[in-house]
A and B are shown apart, each in its own frame.
Chain A
Amino acid sequence: MQRFADLLDSLGTTQSRKRKIALLVEYFRTTGDPDRGWALAALAEGLPLRLPLRRTLRELMAERIDPVLYKLSRDYVGDTAETVSLLWPEPSLNTPPPNLDEVVAGVSGVTSAKFRPLLSGYLDRLDVSGRFALLKLLGGAPRVGVSSRLAKTAIAEAFDRNVAEIEEVWHALAPPYGNLFAWLVGAAPRPDTKHVAVFRPLMLSHPIEEKDLEALDPTAIFAEWKWDGIRVQLSAAGDDVRLFSRTGDDISVAFPEICAAFHGHQAVVDGELLVIRKGQIAPFNDLQQRLNRKVVGPKLKRDYPAHVRLYDMLIDGDEDLRNQPLSVRRARLIAWHVRTAPDLSDVSSLVAFGDFTSLGRIWAGTRDAGIEGLMLKQKSSHYLAGRPKGHWWKWKRAPLTVDCVLMYAQRGSGKRSSLYSDYTFGVWRVTADRTRELVPVGKAYSGFTDAELKDLDRWVRAYTTERFGPVRAVAPGLVLEVAFDAVHTSARHKSGVAMRFPRVHRIRWDKPADEADTLDTIVALIA
Chain B
Amino acid sequence: MQKKATGKNVGAISPVLTSPEAWLHPSPNGLYCAPGKFHIDPHSPVERAIITHGHSDHARSGHGAVLATPETIEIMKVRYGANAARRFEPQPYGVTTNIGGVAVRLVPAGHILGSAQVILEWQGRRIVVSGDYKRETDPTCAPFELVHCDVFVTEATFALPVFRHGPADREARKLIASLGCQPDRTHLLGVYGLGKAQRMIALLRAEGYDAPIYLHGALVALCELYERIGIELGDLRPASEAKGKPLPGTLVLAPPSALADRWSQRFADPVTAFASGWMQVRGRVRQRGVELPLVVSDHADWPDLVDTCLATGASEIWVTHGRDDALVHELGKRGQHARALALIGFEDEDD
Contacts and interface: CB of A to CB of B under 8 A. Distances in A.
Nearest to A65: B161
A68 B280 CA distance: 21
B204 to A, nearest CB: 20
Contact of B281 (A68, A76, A413, A458): A76
28 contacts: A13-B285, A13-B286, A13-B292, A13-B293, A14-B291, A15-B291, A65-B161, A66-B333, A68-B326, A68-B329, A69-B329, A72-B160, A72-B325, A72-B326, A73-B162, A73-B326, A76-B281, A76-B323, A77-B283, A82-B281, A83-B162, A86-B162, A87-B161, A87-B162, A411-B289, A418-B259, A418-B262, A418-B264
B281 to A, nearest CB: 6
Most buried by A among B160, B261, B265, B293: B160
B229 interface: no
B213 to A, nearest CB: 21
Contact of B262 (A86, A413, A457): A457
B282 interface: yes
Interface residues of B, number: 29
A78 B292 contact: no
A417 interface: yes
Contacts of B164: 86
B56 interface: no
A328 B214 CA distance: 67
Contact of A79 (B265, B283, B285, B330): B283
A91 interface: no
Given A13-B292, A13-B293, A69-B326, 9 more contacts: A68-B329, A72-B160, A73-B162, A77-B281, A86-B162, A86-B280, A86-B281, A417-B260, A418-B265
Interface in A387-424: 411, 413, 415, 417-419
A78 B260 contact: no
A12 B282 CA distance: 8
A411 B162 contact: no
A413 B260 CA distance: 10
A13 B333 contact: no
A65 B293 CA distance: 27
A65 B265 CA distance: 45
B290 interface: yes
B285 A73 contact: no
A418 B260 contact: yes
A384 B285 CA distance: 43
Contacts, number: 71
B272 interface: yes
A413 B283 contact: no
Interface in A13-57: 13-15
A14 B285 CA distance: 11
Given A12-B282, A411-B260, A417-B272, A73 B265 contact: no
Interface string B16-48: 000000000000000000000000000000000
A417 B289 contact: yes
Interface in B216-256: none
A469 B238 CA distance: 30
Contacts of A73: 160-162, 326
Interface in B182-231: none
Interface in A255-284: none
Contacts of B326: 68-69, 72-73
Contacts of A458: 262
Contacts of B160: 69, 72-73, 76
Interface string A80-91: 001100110000
Contacts of A417: 260, 272, 289
Contacts of B272: 417
Interface of B: 160-162, 164, 259-262, 264-265, 269, 272, 280-283, 285-286, 289-293, 323, 325-326, 329-330, 333
Nearest to B272: A417
Interface in A414-458: 415, 417-419, 457-458
A484 B103 CA distance: 74
Contact of A77 (B162, B265, B330, B333): B162
Nearest to B259: A418
Most buried by A among B162, B280, B286: B162
A78 B287 CA distance: 13
A66 B162 contact: no
B167 to A, nearest CB: 13
B124 to A, nearest CB: 36
A189 B282 CA distance: 42
Contacts of A12: 282, 285-286
A129 B290 CA distance: 17
B285 A66 contact: no
A373 B323 CA distance: 58
A66 B329 contact: yes
A340 B286 CA distance: 53
A86 B158 CA distance: 13
Contacts of B280: 86
B183 to A, nearest CB: 15
Contacts of A77: 162, 281-283
Contacts of B282: 12, 77, 79, 82
Contacts of B283: 77-79
A15 B162 contact: no
A410 B196 CA distance: 29
Nearest to B290: A13
B231 to A, nearest CB: 31
Most buried by A among B161, B164, B285, B290: B161
Contacts of B264: 418
A69 B330 contact: yes
A69 B293 CA distance: 25
A79 B323 CA distance: 18
A238 B36 CA distance: 91
A-B interface, 3 closest residue pairs, ranked by CB to CB distance from nearest? A86-B162, A417-B289, A73-B162
Nearest to B269: A415
B270 to A, nearest CB: 9
A18 to B, nearest CB: 11
B291 A66 contact: no
Contact of A72 (B281, B286, B323): B323
B163 to A, nearest CB: 8
Contacts of A411: 260, 289
Nearest to A76: B160
Nearest to B292: A13
Most buried by A among B280, B282, B285, B292: B282
Contacts of A461: 262
Contacts of A82: 281-282
A415 B262 CA distance: 12
A82 B282 CA distance: 8
A194 B326 CA distance: 60
Most buried by B among A12, A76, A415: A76
A419 B160 CA distance: 34
Nearest to A19: B291
Nearest to B163: A86
A458 B292 CA distance: 27
Most buried by B among A78, A417, A419: A417
A73 B292 CA distance: 23
Contacts of A69: 160-161, 326, 329-330
Given A72-B325, A73-B160, A15 B281 contact: no
Given A76-B162, A82-B281, A15 B289 contact: yes
A14 B286 CA distance: 10
B289 A413 contact: yes
A413 to B, nearest CB: 7
A13 B291 contact: yes
A66 B330 CA distance: 9
A418 to B, nearest CB: 5
A415 B269 CA distance: 8
